[in-house]
Amino acid sequence: MTVSPEVRVRPEARAGVRDYVLLTKPRIIELLLVTTIPVMFAAARGWVPLGLLVCTVLGGTLAAASANVYNCVLDRDIDAAMRRTAHRGTASGVVGVSQALAFATSLGVASVAVLGVFVNWLSAALALAAIAAYVGGYTVLLKRRTASNIVWGGVAGCFPVLIGWAAVEGRISAAAVALFLLVFFWTPPHYWPLSIKFADDYNAAGVPMLGAVASGTTVARAVVRYTWATVAVSLTYAPLSGAGLAYWAVAMTAGAWFLWEAYRLRARAGEPAAAMRVFHASITYLTLVFLAVGVDAFLR
């Protein structure tokens, strides 16, 4: 299937609020917030002032939304070729390129303004770096060129951890870096199983996601390696932050379960059903570990 280089606006279509909201990829933003809020509690070693919490979450949400809309503009030809993304406004032509770009830019400017004025300029700079990493690094440079795209492109998804920590402490500590690396290593075993499920879509769009260009066994082995790295890094956070037994218990138990699902995928040679189990397990794992990060701050 040939990917069209341009998606034209349908003159009979009119974009609504929902079309613009979907361009921001709300489900991805929800996952980013799961990491940001507990990290703020950890950095504060307890409660965070409500105003600071709201402004940081708002600024981070706007930054993620901006990056996602830019991604939808640049990848509109790819999205149009894949069944699971063809409904997006930029792919279907409901939202014009100029309108989407204006929307993305407005979101980005608002993000930097909110964080810079009401939080601190370090968090604002990190938000801007996250947008640049996702749009320039992942979308433009990596996504269409290498099967390792999500490994390095996933760096953008790690920034909310740093933004949350910097918002509270005004600096980036070793504990924050450990959580950054946790999300970094977690991203491939989270996304590669999904690429197995939607391999046909990626092949149709010409995107070399690992799950689309490698055998199920190869992908499963890579998932196991990165899952081990994820669990190992999660355990380094404890000594760096002084986390207590509650964090250790959750990190080790959730990590063992995540590894079990990864090995189950390898035993089944990367079959789609097992891949989706790992995908959903990865979300639960990350949520549990970061909840433990937040709760531990209060227990200490």
Condensed to tens digits (0 to 9), the pLDDT of residues 206-246 reads 999 999 999 999 999 999 999 999 999 999 999 999 999 99
* Domain at 255, CATH number: 1.20.120
> In whole angstroms, what separates CA 202 from the centre of its chain?
19
The pLDDT of residue 212: 92
Q: Is residue 4 part of a domain?
A: no
Cα torsion through 75, 78, 82, 84, rounded to 10: -10
Using one digit for the tens of pLDDT, what is the confidence trace for 98-143? 999 999 999 999 999 999 999 999 999 999 999 999 999 999 999 9
Question: Which of 135, 153, 171 is the last residue in one of the domains?
Answer: 171
Instruction: Check whether residue 212 and residue 148 sit in a common domain.
Output: no
Please list, in sequence order, all residues whose beta carbon lies within 8 angstroms of the beta carbon of residue 280, skipping any fewer than 6 positions away: none
Instruction: Check whether residue 268 and residue 136 sit in a common domain.
Output: no
Contact 166, 39 (CB under 8 A): no
Instruction: Fill in the amino acid letter for 158.
Output: C
Q: Is residue 293 part of a domain?
A: yes
Computed over every residue of the chain, the mean pLDDT equals: 93
Instruction: Check whether residue 258 and residue 153 sit in a common domain.
Output: no
Taking phi over 0 as left and psi of -120 to 50 as alpha, with beta for the rest, 93 belongs to: left
Instruction: Check whether residue 22 and residue 114 sit in a common domain.
Output: yes
Q: Which residue has the higher pLDDT, 270 or 60?
A: 60
Q: 299 is written with which tokens?
A: 């227990």
Count: domains in the chain: 2
Stretch among 32-41, 121-130, 162-171, 283-292 having the lowest mean pLDDT: 32-41
Instruction: Check whether residue 224 and residue 281 sit in a common domain.
Output: yes
Question: Which of 171, 186, 207 is the last residue in one of the domains?
Answer: 171
Instruction: Check whether residue 93 and residue 64 sit in a common domain.
Output: yes
Stretch among 30-34, 120-124, 268-272, 282-286 having the lowest mean pLDDT: 30-34
Identify the band that residue 29 occupies on the pLDDT scale cut at 50, 70 and 90: confident
Instruction: Check whether residue 152 and residue 89 sit in a common domain.
Output: yes
Identify the band that residue 30 occupies on the pLDDT scale cut at 50, 70 and 90: confident
Q: Which residue segment(s) compose the domain that 65 sits in?
A: 9-171
Instruction: Check whether residue 120 and residue 217 sit in a common domain.
Output: no
Q: Is residue 2 part of a domain?
A: no
Q: Is residue 1 part of a domain?
A: no
CA separation for the pair 183, 86 (Å, rounded): 28
Contact 188, 154 (CB under 8 A): yes
Contact 240, 178 (CB under 8 A): yes
CA separation for the pair 43, 221 (Å, rounded): 35
Distances (CA, A) of 59 to 106, 145, 181, 238, 273: 12, 31, 22, 28, 37
Mean pLDDT, to the nearest integer, of 33-60?
A: 96
Q: Is residue 16 part of a domain?
A: yes
Q: Is residue 139 part of a domain?
A: yes
Question: Which of 171, 187, 203 is the last residue in one of the domains?
Answer: 171
Mean pLDDT, to the nearest integer, of 152-170?
A: 94
Instruction: Fill in the amino acid letter for 165.
Output: W
Q: 213 is written with which tokens?
A: 């260009």
Instruction: Check whether residue 128 and residue 144 sit in a common domain.
Output: yes
Instruction: Check whether residue 138 and residue 215 sit in a common domain.
Output: no
Instruction: Check whether residue 125 and residue 38 sit in a common domain.
Output: yes
Q: Is residue 3 part of a domain?
A: no
Contact 185, 226 (CB under 8 A): yes
Q: 176 is written with which tokens?
A: 């924050």
Residue 113 has φ and ψ, to the nearest 5°, of -65, -45
Q: Is residue 269 part of a domain?
A: yes
pTM of the model: 0.92
Mean pLDDT, to the nearest integer, of 184-203?
A: 95
* Helix, strand or coil, per DSSP, at residue 169: helix
Instruction: Check whether residue 206 and residue 123 sit in a common domain.
Output: no
